[in-house]
Amino acid sequence: MKIRKGKDSENLDKANAQSRYQVSTKDLPLACPMPGMYLWNSHPKVYLPIQDTGEAKCPYCGAEYYLKDSE
C-alpha cells in the first residue's frame, strides 16, 4: 500500500489545476484526482475507465485525460 503524500512542505500539484492531462499506462488504474495532487480542496476520488477508448472525463471537475502510447 502506498503512503499518500500531503504535508504542506511537499511540492504537490494543485488538484484540478489543469483541464487536460496526458497519462500513461503506469498511471492505471486512473483516478481523479491523481496521487500527486492535494486532496483537501478537491472532489471525492473517482476511478475513470480509460483503457478502452484512450480518453476519459471526470464527472466531478470535467478534467479530460488522454492515454499516451505505452513506452
Q: What is the pLDDT along the chain (71 residues), one digit of tens a residue?
A: 445 555 555 666 665 667 899 999 999 999 999 887 777 678 899 999 999 899 999 999 899 999 997 44
Contact in structure between 66 and 55 (CB atoms under 8 Å): yes
* Cα distances (Å, whole numbers) of residue 1 to 4, 5, 34: 9, 13, 16
Which residues neighbour 10 within 8 Å (Cβ) at sequence distance 6 or greater?
Answer: none
pTM for the whole structure = 0.70
Residue 34 grid coordinates: 491523481
Residue 69 grid coordinates: 502510447
- Distance CA(34)–CA(46), nearest Å, equals 10
